[in-house]
Amino acid sequence: MSQGKKKITLKDIAAYTGLSVNTVSRVLNKKPYYTKEVEEKVTEACRALGYIADRNASGLRSGSTRTIAIVFDDLVNPFYSYTTDIISRIFEEHGYNTIIFSNNARSPYLDYDLIRNVLSRKPDGILSFLEPAEDTVAFIRDTGIPFVIFGRDGAPYSMRGVDADEEFGGKLAGQHLVSRGYKNLAYIGSWHDVKVCLDRQRGFADALESAGLTLDPSHIFYIREALPDEIVDKLIADGVDGLFCYNDIIAFVMIEAIERRGLVTGRDYGIVGYDNIQQMLRMPRFLTTIDVNVYEFARAGAEVMLALLAGEEKAAVPSFRETHVSVLIEGRSTPQR
């Protein structure tokens, strides 16, 4: 049972059973060709000595570490943590451990330093919430390691992406605000150069135009590049009455800043977020938001990764974008005006 600090290796199992390390290894990896008797001996020895294989060592020789890297900018936004939770569980079920990497929210990109850090762990695959920086795209491709961009379109990089129809989500938000009687609308994005952010913006703008309204360019903001209070100054000065935010956290930040000015959400203005983090956290529905079915989304990401690892054709896994439709979840932040 308890064996002090001595670590047990295959050699110990071999000595204990009188077999060679080779044979022991074969049994443990269920390679063909060994007798029932040998198998029992090995199993018994492993239990008796408390053997735990060194998966790093096995990875070194075999070329497969059974490790997958997940890369994000932070784990603070529940969209990331929730999906990471689901995805890493699925990986676990398939015998893969997960190693996490963050770019510390310093940009929306996976940069060269970070990818080097990731690669030094020799993962079998990389699932990234971040788009690769321009100068890393070719580098990543050349490694030949399965790479999945999650929540983003992979096409611009000729990489495999698992994404949803973001434009449609933005459209839902726009149509909803219009139908509830909001007329002077604004969009609060994250970064000006993130495609998902711009897709939602475009869908939103399109919905307004279809209704005979316009999204004034001076009512488009990117919160990572401006201060919430400055944005609010402008919104109030211009009498904006409806906001669509790139995600729920941004919506909450805006609500906080706006209410500090004495305005009341749902009375003085309406606001729509994105991601439905309220549901992930079991919170009452307050904020109107767009729901992507994050569970299925995460599953789709994990499955594409597993398919690539299994060497299957990409086409083997149906596109999430084409099989799922986002819905608008109405909360109390957008009553009829």
Residues that bind DNA (CB under 7 A): 7, 9-11, 18-23, 25-26, 28-29, 31-35, 37-38, 51-54, 57-58, 60-62
Site string for a second copy, 45-64 (x = CB under 8 A): -----x-xxxxxx-xx----
Q: How far is the CB of 66 from DNA (least distance, A)?
A: 10
Binding test (CB under 8 A) with a second copy, winner from 134, 229, 230, 259: 259
Find which of a second copy, DNA, none residue 11 binds, CB within 5 to 8 Å per kind.
DNA
Whole-angstrom CA distances from 65 to 28, 163, 244 are 16, 27, 43
Q: How far is the CB of 93 from DNA (least distance, A)?
A: 20
Q: Residue type at 257?
A: A
Q: How far is the CB of 30 from DNA (least distance, A)?
A: 10
Q: Which is nearer to DNA, 31 or 116 (by Cβ)?
A: 31
Q: Under rule CB under 8 A, which residues in 68-127 are in contact with a second copy?
A: 74-76, 78, 80-82, 84-85, 88-89, 92, 97-102, 104, 116-117, 119-122
- Alpha-carbon distance of 36 to 38, in angstroms, equals 6
Angle at CA 133, nearest 5°, toward 128 and 134? Answer: 135
Find which of a second copy, DNA, none residue 29 binds, CB within 5 to 8 Å per kind.
DNA
SS (HEC) of the chain = CCCCCCCCCHHHHHHHHCCCHHHHHHHHCCCCCCCHHHHHHHHHHHHHHCCCCCHHHHHHHHCCCCEEEEEECCCCCHHHHHHHHHHHHHHHHCCCEEEEEECCCCCCEECHHHHHHHHCCCCCEEEECCEECHHHHHHHHHHCCCEEEECCCCHHHCCEEECCCHHHHHHHHHHHHHHCCCCCEEEEECCCCCHHHHHHHHHHHHHHHHCCCCCCHHHEEEHHHCCHHHHHHHHHHCCCCEEEECCHHHHHHHHHHHHCCCCCECCCEEEECCCCHHHHCCCCCCCEEEECCHHHHHHHHHHHHHHHHCCCCHHHCCCHHHHCCCEEECCCCCCCC
Q: How far is the CB of 188 from DNA (least distance, A)?
A: 45
Would you count residue 335 as binding a second copy (CB under 8 A)? no
Binding test (CB under 8 A) with a second copy, winner from 17, 23, 65, 288: 65
Q: How far is the CB of 273 from a second copy (least distance, A)?
A: 11
Q: How far is the CB of 249 from a second copy (least distance, A)?
A: 6
User: Per the structure block, which two tokens stand in for 46?
Assistant: 């492993």
Find which of DNA, a second copy, none residue 62 binds, CB within 5 to 8 Å per kind.
DNA
Q: Which is nearer to a second copy, 1 or 315 (by Cβ)?
A: 1
Q: Residue type at 4?
A: G
Find which of DNA, a second copy, none residue 10 binds, CB within 5 to 8 Å per kind.
DNA
Find which of a second copy, DNA, none residue 22 binds, CB within 5 to 8 Å per kind.
DNA
Q: Which is nearer to a second copy, 99 or 327 (by Cβ)?
A: 99
Give, to the nearest 10 degrees, the angle between helix 166-179 and helix 195-210. Answer: 40
Q: Under rule CB under 8 A, which residues in 126-155 are in contact with a second copy?
A: 138-139, 142-144
Chain residues that interact with a second copy, rule: CB under 8 A: 1-5, 50, 52-57, 59-60, 65, 67, 74-76, 78, 80-82, 84-85, 88-89, 92, 97-102, 104, 116-117, 119-122, 138-139, 142-144, 248-249, 252-253, 255-256, 259, 277, 280-284, 286
